[in-house]
């Protein structure tokens, strides 16, 4: 109804112009009305077609670039459209969107002649995925956050293994330590506590510039001849990043690169 009313009103524009020039008001109103309806139908068809193409591309394994929204391969390192480094961001987004209830229940067990066997390694994999997706949260928060999802998944499992699945899921959730640090990261942490790398605000977190500077300085102390600690300590920096709130990951890396360049230039003077 709204679109018809709009078409009626817009049809008046060419009709009034035509009428002022002595032409038929009715004919030009019909022309303006029909033109609007045609344009509307055309745009709806194009929109529907684009949505269908995008859905098909996603079914084929393509994903949207987090920066320019163009479709790219899920395993891409760089976006071919905007040139951005996308691998880490895509992995992060994929993890954030992960829902245990979307996993087929058959993934977690196999049938034997004497009954049904729970595949414990896959339960462990589920717990690992949830921890990776919520690296800035503690175990209790993760368990509470996914409680309804896990219950939904568990109800679709054979009754014979439902309790075992729940017990093993909780076991792995509380006993997996993904953040394993080597001595050089420990040395960096002695110079800078992880909590010193970010500032908690009322509406979230922000990077503490002074803390990141001290961290980069500690890497230069560990390797005085280094000209690029970001490259030389990439694995260690990635490990530390995973202990930070996800919303500051990008700014943390930017600050690391900034102080890496600034301190390198200063050391070369």
Range 151-165 average pLDDT:
94
Shared domain for 202 and 251, answered yes or no, is yes
For 48, other C-beta atoms within 10 Å of its C-beta total: 10
- Based on the domain organization, do 225 and 264 belong to the same domain? yes
Structure tokens at 62: 């393509």
| Average pLDDT value over all residues in the chain | 78
Residue 161 lies in a domain: yes
258: which 2 tokens? 């900034």
Say which residues have a Cβ less than 8 Å from residue 6's Cβ, sequence separation at least 6: 36
- State how far the alpha carbon of 27 is from the alpha carbons of 5, 36, 77, 159, in Å: 18, 14, 58, 72
What distance in Å separates the CA atoms of residue 229 and residue 220, rounded to the nearest whole number? 7
Q: Is 154 within a domain? A: yes
| 93 in any annotated domain | no
Instruction: Provide the residue count of the chain.
Output: 269
**Structure-model confidence comparison of residues 127 and 70, the more confident one:** 127
Residues 154 and 196 in one domain: no
75 found inside a domain: yes
The residue behind tokens 């109103």 is 29
132 with 84: CB under 8 angstroms? no
Residue 65, classed as helix, strand or coil, is coil
pLDDT at 83: 82
Q: How far apart are CA 25 and CA 13, in angstroms?
A: 10
pLDDT value for 269: 57
- 103 and 129 in contact (C-beta within 8 Å)? no
Query: Do the domain assignments include residue 16?
Result: yes
Q: Which of 182, 179, 196, 184 is nearest to 226 (CA)?
A: 184
Q: Are residues 39 and 103 in the same domain?
A: no
Range of the domain at 74: 61-88
State the pTM of this model.
0.46
Question: What are 244-256's pLDDT values in tens digits?
Answer: 887 888 999 999 9
Q: Which comes out higher in pLDDT, residue 149 or 135?
A: 149
Average pLDDT of the residues in 63-76: 76
Helices 234-242, 183-191: inter-axial angle, 10-degree rounding: 60
Residue 197: C-alpha distances to residues 16, 120, 191 (Å): 66, 37, 11
Lowest average pLDDT, out of 32-36, 178-182, 184-188, goes to 178-182
Say how many domains are in the chain.
4
E strand or H helix that includes residue 111: strand 109-112
Q: What is the DSSP letter of 140?
A: H
More confident residue, 150 or 16: 150
Range in 31-45, 111-125, 154-168 with the lowest mean pLDDT: 31-45
pLDDT score for 180:
44
In a domain, 146, yes or no: yes
Predicted pLDDT of residue 164: 94
């Amino acid at each position: 109804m709204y679109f018809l009313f709009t078409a009626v009103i817009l049809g008046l524009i060419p009709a009034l112009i035509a009428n002022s020039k002595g032409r038929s008001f009715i004919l030009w109103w019909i022309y303006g009305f029909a033109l609007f309806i045609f344009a509307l139908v055309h745009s709806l068809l194009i929109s529907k077609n684009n949505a269908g193409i995008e859905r098909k591309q996603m079914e084929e394994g393509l994903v949207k670039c987090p920066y320019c929204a163009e479709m790219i391969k899920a395993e891409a390192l760089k976006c071919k459209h905007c040139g951005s480094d996308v691998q880490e961001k895509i992995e992060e987004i994929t993890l954030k969107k992960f829902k245990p209830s979307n996993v087929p229940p058959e993934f977690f067990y196999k049938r034997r002649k004497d009954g049904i066997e729970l595949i414990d390694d896959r339960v462990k994999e589920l717990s690992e995925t949830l921890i990776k997706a919520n690296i800035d949260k503690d175990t209790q928060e993760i368990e509470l956050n996914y409680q309804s999802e896990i219950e939904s998944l568990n109800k679709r499992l054979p009754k014979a293994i439902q309790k075992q699945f729940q017990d093993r899921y909780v076991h792995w959730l509380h006993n997996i330590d993904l953040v394993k640090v080597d001595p050089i990261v420990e040395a960096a942490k002695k110079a800078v506590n992880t909590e010193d790398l970010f500032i908690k605000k009322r509406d979230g977190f922000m990077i503490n510039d002074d803390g990141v500077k001290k961290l980069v300085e500690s890497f230069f102390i560990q390797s005085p001849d280094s000209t690029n600690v970001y490259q030389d300590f990439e694995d260690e920096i990635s490990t530390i990043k995973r202990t930070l709130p996800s919303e500051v990951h990008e700014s943390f890396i930017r600050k690391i690169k900034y102080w890496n360049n600034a301190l390198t230039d200063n050391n070369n003077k």
